[in-house]
Structure 1
Amino acid sequence: MAIKFGLTDRGFIAPTYEEWLDAVQDDMKSRFGDDIALTSNSTFGSLARMYAWRLTEMNQQLQLVYYSGFYATANDSALDHLGANIGVLRKVAAPSYATLQITTDGEYLIEAGEQFETEDGIIFNLTDDVLTKQDDAGNWVGFGNLESDETGEMNNVMANTITVVSNPDDTIIAVTNPEPASGGNDEETDEDYRSRLIMENVAQEGPTANGIRSALMNLPGVREVGIVDNDQATADEYGNPPYSVHIYVLGGVDKEIAQVLNDRVAAGVTLTGSKAVNITDEAGIVKTIHFDSATEVPIYLQVELKTTDDWNQDDSVSQIQADIAQKINALEMGQTVYLTKLFSEVYDKPGVEEAAIKIGTAKDKLGYTDVQVKRFEVPVCAPSNVEVVVDG
């Protein structure tokens, strides 16, 4: 059977079914004579096709085993095993965390387990008891920690959106989250996990810029990292002081981010940023770590449609909302939201005849121009931010 297959000095060769069939038929002719019948309904022909199909299947499985040994081609559990070899595990689905400010009409105890939510119905649980106290302005205020009821990135809601008391209480005047919720994480996809493993292979966790980025990206909930290294004797264009490093992180938990920076940033490096988190090192010394969270810029859209009879009124609206939100949320820090690139997420739906899209950073300020964000801002969009108006 003169056919090359399997592992060779040029990689793995996996012949097609047709190539295997030709090889099996040639082998049969050499053994039983050139005049044997090899049609599909003959005995030899049926056997040849059966052998060729089995050989194709086995060779394809061997090929999968071969490619499972490489970051670029491994999938599922094979990719998990490769990550475990270097101590970088896939990020599992995790809840989001936030700080809740509670205002009451007098001293009041809110017990752990109480639920609060956003207008969209994303629920958070209070993880500890909160006793409100009177502040300098005479208001009764308390602060507590929240954990989202479900896991997933969708729970990383923006600041001042957790405003609903799930079980109404007349004593509670108002609730809100002064800062965005963070830490929520979907189970990491093969594509994202693979990119992180390749980054780790190129630049392992350490004091270099790429090493710090790798270490931060390995934290649950961290989606992106930006680093500005000002090595000049004067302030840079962003106002960073001389000889400083300014790190911007999208997502993640502040305490965990600060710990990584404490462990990975080289001694003598001056970190700058508006956030200041205290970390106690191995020697018991309290150090203040400075950094910043990347600013999320909410994007709002209105999609006006003219449709035909092929339009699916039950599912297509929600699908357009989800697809547009996913497209925008896939953008990286500092990337522009190009209006024209969103039309493909609309016109690929059956029944869409004409479409017009307006976009902006506020519901009441929409237009037909691209949305540009600053270098350390990230465009974000929830499906509910996409209004779809259908004119049949």
Structure 2
Amino acid sequence: MPIDTKLGYVKYDKDQLLDQVKQYFITNFGSDINLDDGSNAGAIANILAEVEDTIDSIGQGIRDSGLLLKSTGQAIDDIGANEGIYRKIATNSSVTLLITAYINPNSPVIIDPDNGEYSTADGQIFRITDDVTISQQATTSNGQPMVDDDGNPLGQVTVTAVSEDTGASQNVAPNSIVNAEQSVDGFYSVTNPDKAQGGIDVETDDKLKARIMANRQAKPNGTQDGLTTAIKNIPDVKDARVVTNTSNQADAFGNPAYSIHAYVLGGQPNEIAQAIYDNVALDTNFAGSKSGNATDVSGKQYSIAYDAAPQALIYIKVAVKADATSFNNDYGIQQIKDSINQYFDGLSMGDSVNFTKLFSPIYAVSGVNDAEISMGRDSASNVQPNQSITVNNMEVPVVANIDVEVN
């Protein structure tokens, strides 16, 4: 048996098991028994060792399935379910689209979810959530009527769209949704001025383990750590931080006396508000510029303030040298942008951006032979070569713009 009183479950390898079986044969049938692999007894010994190895592997799996740090897959889900903690599923991404269309006073352009699918160059599809009508001419940023190159009047409308697929890869970069999947009379162009957000991957084993451990160490309650745990347990919340001010005056961050200020990455306002309400005293001061409604057992609603994680806007400039025979001239630049964008989706609150980590996603694009990376915060004019970006514990780094030059 592979159970050791000091070391626990110690599984023997196949050679050790075979030696044990052969020793059993010798003990029972004499030392002159032929146990070569080609003999009948040797073949039976090998089969018995193989069976014992399978049984021991099953035993080890059964034992490990009850130990959080050693368990994998469904076993972690089962452990978490016993404690009321469930694996977060993959979610769709949402984005605001800017749709431009020609103006025809006699026939306004009407787009609905059935014919309002738009995609990136890589084929990631987003469907609008509401009907939109474009019937009036728009104006440019300098107040001039918007027209195309031939002087024809154009109108614009913004609308929310949701990704067809789930996962962090659907959090596409700004200005990457540019293709219409269906033909609509009067349509001119589409883009997404801002990055798509909200798409998350299925929670990994390691992340689920960490969250179960966090719930054990600080169960959801009114403490700072407990409230952080409660908010992180919301299915589409990626990360959270909580600042408490227990003094009778405003703190250095401007939070009022005896207040709680939650910073949350992802999640829906009412779900966040409910998690906060369920774990703190109602007479607490809540700080923040966003709010959601929490409901008590009688159905009465309370407005709870919090803040979305502040975005640290990162501007990136990439100069690459590419092989003309293997670099895709049509989609290569967008592939570089998408690859960098996916790297940023793996970052969370407080994660700094080391420029050396961006080389891997850039070189992953076929045909890229060399790359130079410049980065800066808050303005495209601040980018500097080989510069890493540091953010504070509340901020989440977000791509503001990626400028790619190909030689």
The bucket for the TM-score relative to the shorter chain is: 0.7 to 0.9
Of 137-146 and 69-78, more deviation after overlay is shown by: 137-146
The equivalences for 1:148-167 within 5 A come to 148-156=163-171
8 Å CA contact 2:318–2:371 kept in 1: the answer is: no
1:367 corresponds, among 375, 385, 407, to 385
Which position in structure 2 is the counterpart of 1:115?
116
Distance apart, 1:338 and its partner CA: 2.1
Change (3 A) 1:9 1:116: same
The answer to which of 290-299 and 321-330 deviates more is 321-330
Give the Å deviation of 1:219. 1.8
Aligned equivalents of 1:93 and 1:152: distance in 2? 5
Instruction: Letter of the 1:124 partner, please give it.
Output: F
1:246–1:271 Cα contact (<8 Å) kept: yes
Q: Which amino acid aligns with 1:238?
A: F
Correspondences of 1:212-361 after superposition (within 5 Å): 212-296=227-311, 297-298=313-314, 300=316, 302=318, 304=320, 328-342=344-358, 356-361=372-377
Shift in Å, 1:81: 1.8
Does structure 1 residue 19 correspond to structure 2 residue 16?
Answer: yes
User: After alignment, is 142-151 or 194-203 more displaced?
Assistant: 142-151
2:160 and 2:84 map into 1 onto residues whose CA distance is 31
Q: Which amino acid aligns with 1:302?
A: V
**Alignment equivalent of 1:72, drawn from 69, 80, 87:** 69
Cα shift at 1:213: 1.9
Partners of 1:253 and 1:366 in 2: CA distance: 36
Does the 8 Å CA contact 1:336/1:373 hold for their aligned counterparts? yes
In the alignment, the residues of structure 2 paired with residue 110 and residue 347 of structure 1 have an alpha-carbon distance, to the nearest angstrom, of: 39
Provide the C-alpha distance between the structure 2 equivalents of 1:163 and 1:320, rounded to a whole number of angstroms. 16
Equivalent AA in structure 2 for residue 255 of structure 1: N
Q: What do residues 242-279 of structure 1 show as CA deviations (whole Å, max 9, x unaligned)?
A: 32221111112223222222222332221111113344
1:356 deviates by: 4.7
The number of equivalent residue pairs is 380
Structure 2: runs of 5 or more not aligned:
146-154
Q: 1:37 to 1:355 in 2, by over 3 A?
A: farther
Unaligned runs of 5+ in 1: none
- Name the structure 2 match of 1:46: 43
Amino acid at match of 1:218: N
Cα separation, 2, equivalents of 1:68 and 1:174: 54
Does the 8 Å contact 2:171/2:345 carry over to 1? no
Instruction: Tell me whether 366-375 or 234-243 shows the greater mean CA deviation.
Output: 234-243
Contact 1:182 1:252 in 2 (8 A): no
Note if contact 1:229-1:243 (Cα within 8 Å) is conserved in structure 2: yes
Kindly provide the CA deviation profile for residues 17-69 of structure 1, in whole angstroms up to 9, marking residues without a partner as x.
12212211211111111222333323333222222122112201210111011
Moved more, 159-168 or 283-292: 159-168
Q: Which residue number in structure 1 is paired with residue 152 of structure 2?
A: none
Q: Which moved more, 1:165-174 or 1:360-369?
A: 165-174
Task: Please report how far the alpha carbon of residue 119 of structure 1 lies from its aligned counterpart in structure 2 after TM superposition.
Answer: 5.5
> How has the CA–CA distance of structure 1 residues 306 and 166 changed in structure 2, closer, same or farther, with 3 Å as cutoff?
closer
Corresponding residue to 2:58 among 45, 61, 70: 61
Q: Which AA in structure 2 matches 1:22?
A: D
| 1:290 maps to amino acid | A
* Structure-1-length-normalised TM-score: 0.76
Work out whether residues 116 and 163 of structure 1, in 8 Å CA contact, stay in contact via their aligned partners in 2: no
Give me the whole-angstrom Cα distance separating, in 1, the residues matched to 2:253 and 2:349.
16
Secondary structure of the residue that 2:210 maps to in structure 1? helix
What is residue 29 of structure 1 aligned with on the other side? 26
Match of 2:203 in 1: 188
For residue 334 of structure 1, give the secondary structure of its aligned residue in structure 2.
coil
Q: Is the 8 A contact 1:199 1:214 kept in 2?
A: yes
* Residue in structure 2 matching 1:124, options 123, 126, 142: 126
Q: By how many angstroms is 1:83 displaced?
A: 2.0
Residues 290-344 of structure 1, C-alpha deviations (whole Å, 9 max, x = no match):
111113434635364699xxx9879x99998887665554333122222345556
**Contact in 2 for aligned 1:153/1:186 (Cα 8 Å):** yes
Contact 1:223–1:251 under 8 Å retained in 2: yes
Bigger drift between 233-242 and 97-106 goes to 97-106
The answer to whether structure 1 residue 378 and structure 2 residue 393 are counterparts is no
Aligned equivalents of 1:195 and 1:208: distance in 2? 19
Larger mean CA deviation between 316-325 and 189-198 belongs to 316-325
Partners of 2:280 and 2:359 lie apart in 1 by 43
Q: Is the 8 A contact 1:224 1:333 kept in 2?
A: yes
| SS of 2:230 mapped into structure 1 | helix
Map residues 1-12 of structure 1 onto 2, 5 A cutoff: 4-6=1-3, 8=5, 10-12=7-9
Distance 1:112 1:38 in 2: 73
Contact 2:176 2:191 (8 Å CA) reproduced: yes
Residue 199 (structure 1) aligns with: 214
Q: How far has the Cα of 1:233 moved from its partner?
A: 3.3
- Name the CA shift for 1:363/1:102 in 2 (closer, same or farther; >3 Å): same
**Counterpart of 2:12 in 1: which secondary structure?**
coil
